[in-house]
Copies of this chain bind each other. A is one copy, B any other.
Amino acid sequence: MAQKKIGKQTFQFSSVPVITSWASVVGPKEGEGPFGEQYDLVLTDSLAGEKTWEKAEQKMMQYSVELALEKRGLLPKDLDLYLAGDLLNQIICANFTARFLNTPFLGLYGACSTLAQGLCVAGILLEGGFAEKVGVSASSHHNTAERQFRTPTELGDQRPLTAQWTVTGSASFVLERVGTGIMLTHATIGKINDLGVSNAQDLGSAMAPAACDTISTHLEDLGRSEADYDLIVTGDLGFLGSNILTELLTQKGISAEKIYDCGITIYSPEQDTHAGGSGCGCSAVVLAAHLIGCLQARFYQRILFVGTGALLSQISAFQGESIPCIAHAVVLEAGRGDR
């Protein structure tokens, strides 16, 4: 059996599972952003014809997994396992999407790192020979997150400049043990980092140390440097968090030149989202709509995709707790190799 664990926190997928299909569904604001043309579906309103934002978010996740399956000519029953999560209490979007799919299901919670966490677990299942086909989804919705984590949306509270805008969007991915697609070669499972930030309106700053920890551990585990990657993608640190990550990496002697943050690129500056985008959907839709295409076109050969999650709840914040953060990473490479 090939060595599975490399270094402290990294898994090696020698059988090289592949992402064979993917799809993204976003809200109107995201549709007006830089990747507008690249999303599979842009909703014309954030309710998606439903009565509540929560139901709309679930519909987005369902649409995205239906689209990803359809592109690959698969039915839900072809999936051996479905992995999903979202930001809502008790991950209801994932639960109701799993009800629709009627496949074996494992619910995950990693806040905005959920998609990366799902890709890690999918890699484990495929490399370990437990599954042939796995589906992974993540979603977020600006309005469901805003009223759950912060204030009733009707209040129209002014957002501080440190705040990020939760992305309305969902993306789904089909991963297979055998097939043609984007290669998943490694996964690095993160540890909690909590440097004492307790401001729920500045999650990028809270999450930056977790991103730095996972990136540096990953490089050390594999004996690689940042030069081995075309991009080091972070989920949703936004402008503030990315600046902090740059400083932290520099202190460790790692160049931050390759850093690309989905929270920064998902909206254009004119959309004025303050510190950038966030939410499980943020890195998920940027990966599905843009980055995977760049790998497919071999514009990039190898990227490190680092999902970052702030694992707070409204109650933990009210009770004066600081914000525990985590980052999980996967290595994605263009085209299936011949290993």
Contacts and interface: CB of A to CB of B under 8 A. Distances in A.
A247 interface: no
Given A107-B108, A108-B109, A131-B5, A192 B95 contact: yes
Contacts of A25: none
16 contacts: A1-B129, A81-B189, A89-B89, A90-B316, A95-B192, A98-B326, A99-B192, A103-B191, A105-B190, A106-B108, A106-B120, A106-B189, A107-B109, A128-B129, A128-B130, A148-B315
Contacts of A106: 108, 110, 117, 120-121, 189
Interface stretch (A65-73, A268-276, A306-314): A306-314
Nearest to A130: B4
A30 interface: no
**Which of A5, A107, A111, A321 has the largest count of B CB atoms less than 10 A from its CB?**
A107
Interface residues of A, number: 58
A104 B218 CA distance: 12
B89 A313 contact: yes
Interface in A119-144: 120-121, 124-125, 127-131
The 4 closest A-B pairs by CB, nearest first: A128-B128, A90-B313, A95-B311, A104-B189
A225 interface: no
A109 B88 contact: no
Given A85-B109, A98-B324, 20 more contacts: A1-B129, A5-B131, A54-B316, A55-B319, A81-B189, A87-B90, A88-B313, A90-B109, A91-B311, A92-B313, A92-B316, A98-B192, A99-B194, A102-B192, A105-B326, A107-B108, A107-B117, A107-B326, A124-B130, A127-B128
**Which of A4, A102, A311 has the largest count of B CB atoms less than 10 A from its CB?**
A311
Given A124-B124, A130-B128, A90 B111 contact: yes
Nearest to A87: B90
Nearest to A187: B130
**Which of A91, A102, A194 has the largest count of B CB atoms less than 10 A from its CB?**
A91
B324 A95 contact: yes
A199 interface: no
Nearest to A95: B311
B105 A107 contact: no
Interface in A286-339: 311-316, 319, 321, 324, 326
Contacts of A117: 106-107
Nearest to A102: B191
Nearest to A98: B192
Nearest to A117: B106
Nearest to A96: B324
Given A9-B104, A11-B130, A54-B315, A324 B99 contact: yes
